């Protein structure tokens, strides 16, 4: 359960203040599938980074599963990123020198799992995204869609309860985009919460709830089917 | 994260940049090579020289005479010292260099006029024949004992007893050949020993160059030294005309010189390791900023600060320790070569090895900690945004 209350984040660009987030309040229950939409520069990624504990808000409170994020140590935040949350980025963010297998294994290494357990989970995740036969490929030897699937496998490997995806289909053709969306829907069906940022109206329409952000503020929230 | 995993990660990124890793290590390799070679050579030389000085016998006291031509002592006077306060055997010598000839061969050598007791005091090793006897000196015979190299050069063999050698137009008979000496402080190999009185007449030189006395026993060295000192002062009349030295004084002086040399060399070696360390630090800093994005990704998927810290620290320690090991290996090869060239016995002691390795590991940690800390403290979001 994510509870954001009056979150503000301001960047200082020279003399001018940029209010990337200007009082965002949002509750995302466990297992929800939420799409965040809005124009470029409206603060979507900033919000996502706050939710993912990659960044901290300047003002407001963020409660994750009942705990105030502000009170957590750096180590606790690291553990949350490692165990509770799986990230999927627009630029995939795979480590270029590692193979698909090693990329997926990495968060499990940081968890301190045994070799056998890592192997089992890594193969399981890669199989799930349909890349069991590409395990030894480096990212450069994979297509964009395949790279994003490796990234999904990496996010999945730790069995997170929440998956954060910042424009996961933004760099992909529509066919690959559809495949990725199907995977996310399947993950949501397993009970994992998904927060997804997109510009694509079709992608947004796949979510249960759409949150529209403009100028760092929530403009509208809408459930699937148009209900407010 | 387990240490073995961190080590694996570090090795992978070092292997991914082989040329750079090697060049970075080079600083440490050269530093450690310098440390091992310098320390081993100094230790080897110290052992060698000390051994030679000690082989002269710890009872030896000698005086170098530098008096002007007008003041001199005779051999007969000097011999009276024998049996006086603490003194056992006395010998005197005077040397000069001259060309020695045999047949068509000639060679420049040190010609040293000595008394028969010289051999007793200096412990020379004879290969063939005998040393000069008291009779040779008294009768001013033309007998000579020649060094190993003189024999080889003049006759092509050391089996040259009875041959004649010409010094300053006078023919001498070879009655003894010395074994090859391994001494670096006094070379007997290129020396021709002739009776002292013969020498004095031949070179028209009444002075004595040096007086050697051996004390009755180790405890009597000081007494013998005083006796010699007082005697020479009385005979020559000025303490500036001679210098009395005993073996322990030589050893002390040598120890001091070698100590200074060791410190100096160790200092040079330490500086080169320091330079190597700065090289590592430089490359690690470059590496951290190049891999900022990688660090961001690692943190996003759950790497802790300590994980990043350890990863980078291990990289720098692996670089420096690997450099250290390669340096020691090259040092061992270098020592073999030095041994061949310098003809001395050199060993790389465990303490030197441990010192070199410990120092290089220390360099890795000291110079790696800054960059590693920089990497570990990057904020995940800033690192991820880095292009
Ligand atoms: N590190 C930063 N320093 C300064 N300003 C920033 C920084 N990060 C974001 N901003 C500003 O905050 C605002 C929101 O940025 P954000 O990346 O959240 O937008 P976005 O909605 O994700 O846009 P897009 O759809 O293009 O990805 C923008 O005006 C941006 O310029
Ligand atoms: Mg964005």
pLDDT, tens digit, for every residue of A63-91? 999 999 999 999 999 999 999 999 999 89
Q: What is the pLDDT of residues B6-15, one digit of tens each?
A: 888 888 888 8
**Which range (B40-54, B76-90, B115-129, B230-244) has the least confidence?**
B40-54
Q: What is the mean pLDDT of residues B62-84?
A: 82
A81/B301 CB distance under 8 A: yes
| B58 is a domain residue | no
pLDDT value for A228: 44
pTM of the model: 0.75
Q: What is the pLDDT of residues A104-162, one digit of tens each?
A: 999 999 999 999 999 999 999 999 999 999 999 999 999 999 999 999 999 999 999 99
Q: Are residues B127 and B187 in the same domain?
A: yes
Candidates B18, B20, B302, B379: best to mutate against A (most CBs of A within 10 A) is: B302
Domain boundary among B237, B271, B287: B237
Give the orientation angle of helix A100-111 with respect to helix A144-157, to 10 degrees: 20
* pLDDT band with cut points at 50, 70 and 90 for residue B253: confident
Which of B86-90, B153-157, B375-379: highest mean pLDDT?
B375-379
Per the listing, tokens 């120092």 go with B359
Q: Is B15 on the interface with A (CB under 8 A)?
A: no
Q: Are residues B87 and B195 in the same domain?
A: yes
Q: Are residues B17 and B82 in the same domain?
A: no
pLDDT value for B17: 87
CA of A85 to nearest chain B CA: how many angstroms apart? 8
Domain boundary among B237, B264, B297: B237
A contacts of B301 (beta carbons < 8 Å): 81-82, 87, 106-107, 110, 154
B304/A75 CB distance under 8 A: yes
B302/A111 CB distance under 8 A: yes
Q: Is B374 on the interface with A (CB under 8 A)?
A: no
Mean pLDDT score across all residues of chain B: 87
Q: Are residues B256 and B233 in the same domain?
A: no
| B345 is a domain residue | yes
Find the closest chain A residue to B378 by CA distance.
Answer: A54
Q: Are residues B272 and B186 in the same domain?
A: no
Per the listing, tokens 């007998």 go with B143
Q: Are residues B86 and B7 in the same domain?
A: no
| B73 is a domain residue | yes
d(C-alpha A138, C-alpha A144), whole Å: 12
Q: Are residues B223 and B281 in the same domain?
A: no
Give the rounded percent of residues in chain A with a pLDDT score beyond 90. 86
The domains found in chain A, sorted by start residue, are 30-56+82-223 (3.40.50.300)
Q: Are residues B323 and B359 in the same domain?
A: yes
B18 is in which domain, residue-wise? 3-52+252-385
A95/B305 CB distance under 8 A: no
User: Which 284-313 residues of chain B touch chain A by CB within 8 A?
Assistant: 293-294, 297-305, 307
* pLDDT band with cut points at 50, 70 and 90 for residue B185: low
Q: Residue A177 gets which letter from DSSP?
A: H
Q: Are residues B88 and B155 in the same domain?
A: yes
* pLDDT band with cut points at 50, 70 and 90 for residue B183: low
Given a cut of 50, is residue B122 above it in pLDDT? yes
CA dist B32 → B73, B319, B369 (Å): 55, 13, 21
More confident residue, B97 or B295: B295
| B287 is a domain residue | yes
Count of structural domains, chain B: 2
Q: Are residues B232 and B302 in the same domain?
A: no
pLDDT value for A227: 45
Find the closest chain A residue to B292 by CA distance.
Answer: A95
Q: What is the pLDDT of residues B23-41, one digit of tens each?
A: 999 989 998 898 888 888 8
For residue A68 and ligand 1, the question of a CB distance below 6 A is answered with: no
| B368 is a domain residue | yes
Q: What is the atom index within ligand 1 of the atom nearest the CA of A199?
A: 25
Q: Are residues B312 and B260 in the same domain?
A: yes
Q: What is the atom index within ligand 1 of the atom nearest the CA of A167?
A: 27
Q: Is B149 on the interface with A (CB under 8 A)?
A: no
pLDDT value for B186: 60
Spatial CA neighbour of B63 closest among B187, B232, B217, B195: B232
Give the rounded percent of residues in chain B with a pLDDT score beyond 70. 97
| B63 is a domain residue | no
A87/B305 CB distance under 8 A: no
Q: Is B8 on the interface with A (CB under 8 A)?
A: no
CA of B380 to nearest chain A CA: how many angstroms apart? 6
| B319 is a domain residue | yes
Is the Cα dihedral A192, A193, A195, A198 positive or negative? positive
Q: What is the atom index within ligand 1 of the atom nearest the CA of A216?
A: 14
For residue A140 and ligand 1, the question of a CB distance below 6 A is answered with: no
Q: What is the atom index within ligand 1 of the atom nearest the CA of A213?
A: 21
Q: b/e string for A72-84 if b means 16 or more Cβ within 10 A?
A: beeeebbbbbbbb
Find the closest chain B residue to A115 by CA distance.
Answer: B5
| B120 is a domain residue | yes
Domain boundary among B237, B262, B279: B237
Mean pLDDT score across all residues of chain A: 92
Q: Are residues B193 and B140 in the same domain?
A: yes
* pLDDT band with cut points at 50, 70 and 90 for residue B216: confident
């Amino acid at each position: 359960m994510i509870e954001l209350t009056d979150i503000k984040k301001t960047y200082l660009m020279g003399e001018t203040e940029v209010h990337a987030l200007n009082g965002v309040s949002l509750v995302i229950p466990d297992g929800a599938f939420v799409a965040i939409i809005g124009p470029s520069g409206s603060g979507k990624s900033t919000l996502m980074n706050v939710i993912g504990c990659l960044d901290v808000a300047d003002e407001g409170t963020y409660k994750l599963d009942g705990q105030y994020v502000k009170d957590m140590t750096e180590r606790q935040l690291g553990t949350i990123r490692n165990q509770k949350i799986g990230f999927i980025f627009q630029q995939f963010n795979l480590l270029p020198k590692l193979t698909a297998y090693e990329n997926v294994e990495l968060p499990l290494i940081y968890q301190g799992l045994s070799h056998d357990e890592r192997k089992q989970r890594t193969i399981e995740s890669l199989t799930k995204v349909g890349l069991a036969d590409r395990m030894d490929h480096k990212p450069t030897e994979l297509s964009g869609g395949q790279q994003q699937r490796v990234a999904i496998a990496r996010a999945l490997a730790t069995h997170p309860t929440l998956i954060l995806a910042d424009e996961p289909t933004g760099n992909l053709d529509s066919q690959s985009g559809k495949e990725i969306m199907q995977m996310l829907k399947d993950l949501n069906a397993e009970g994992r919460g998904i927060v997804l940022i997109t510009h694509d109206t079709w992608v947004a329409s796949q979510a249960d709830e759409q949150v529209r952000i403009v100028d760092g503020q929530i403009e509208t929230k809408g459930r699937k089917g148009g209900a407010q | 994260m387990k240490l073995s995993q961190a080590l694996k990660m570090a090795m992978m990124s070092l292997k991914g940049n082989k040329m750079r890793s090697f060049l970075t290590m080079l600083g440490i390799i050269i530093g450690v090579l310098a440390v091992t070679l310098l320390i081993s050579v100094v230790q080897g030389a110290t052992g060698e020289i000390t051994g030679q000085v000690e082989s002269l016998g710890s009872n030896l006291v000698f005086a170098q005479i530098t008096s002007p031509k007008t003041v001199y002592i005779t051999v007969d006077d000097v011999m009276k010292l024998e049996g006086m306060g603490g003194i056992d055997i006395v010998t005197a010598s005077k040397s000069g260099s001259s060309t020695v000839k045999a047949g068509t061969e000639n060679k420049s050598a040190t010609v040293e006029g000595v008394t028969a007791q010289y051999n007793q005091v200096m412990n020379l090793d004879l290969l063939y024949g005998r040393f000069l006897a008291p009779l040779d000196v008294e009768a001013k015979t033309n007998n000579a004992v020649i060094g190993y190299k003189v024999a080889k050069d003049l006759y092509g063999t050391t089996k040259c007893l009875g041959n004649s050698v010409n010094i300053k137009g006078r023919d001498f008979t070879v009655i003894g050949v010395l074994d090859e000496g391994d001494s670096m402080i006094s070379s007997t190999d290129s020396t021709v020993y002739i009776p002292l009185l013969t020498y004095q007449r031949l070179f028209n030189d009444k002075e004595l160059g040096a007086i050697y006395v051996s004390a009755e026993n180790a405890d009597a060295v000081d007494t013998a030294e005083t006796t010699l000192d007082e005697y020479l002062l009385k005979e020559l009349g000025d303490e500036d005309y001679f210098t009395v030295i005993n073996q322990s004084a030589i050893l002390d002086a040598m120890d001091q010189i070698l100590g200074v040399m060791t410190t100096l060399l160790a200092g040079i070696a330490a500086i080169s390791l320091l330079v190597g360390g700065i090289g590592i630090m430089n490359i690690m800093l470059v590496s951290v900023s190049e891999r900022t994005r990688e660090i961001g990704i690692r943190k996003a998927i759950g790497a802790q600060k300590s994980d990043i810290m350890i990863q980078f620290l291990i990289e720098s320690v692996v670089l420096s320790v690997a450099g250290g090991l390669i340096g020691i290996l090259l040092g061992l090869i270098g020592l073999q070569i030095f041994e061949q060239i310098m003809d001395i016995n050199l060993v790389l002691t465990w303490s030197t090895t441990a010192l070199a390795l410990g120092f290089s590991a220390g360099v890795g940690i000291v110079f790696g900690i800054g960059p590693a800390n920089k990497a570990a403290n990057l904020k995940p979001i800033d690192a991820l945004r880095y292009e």
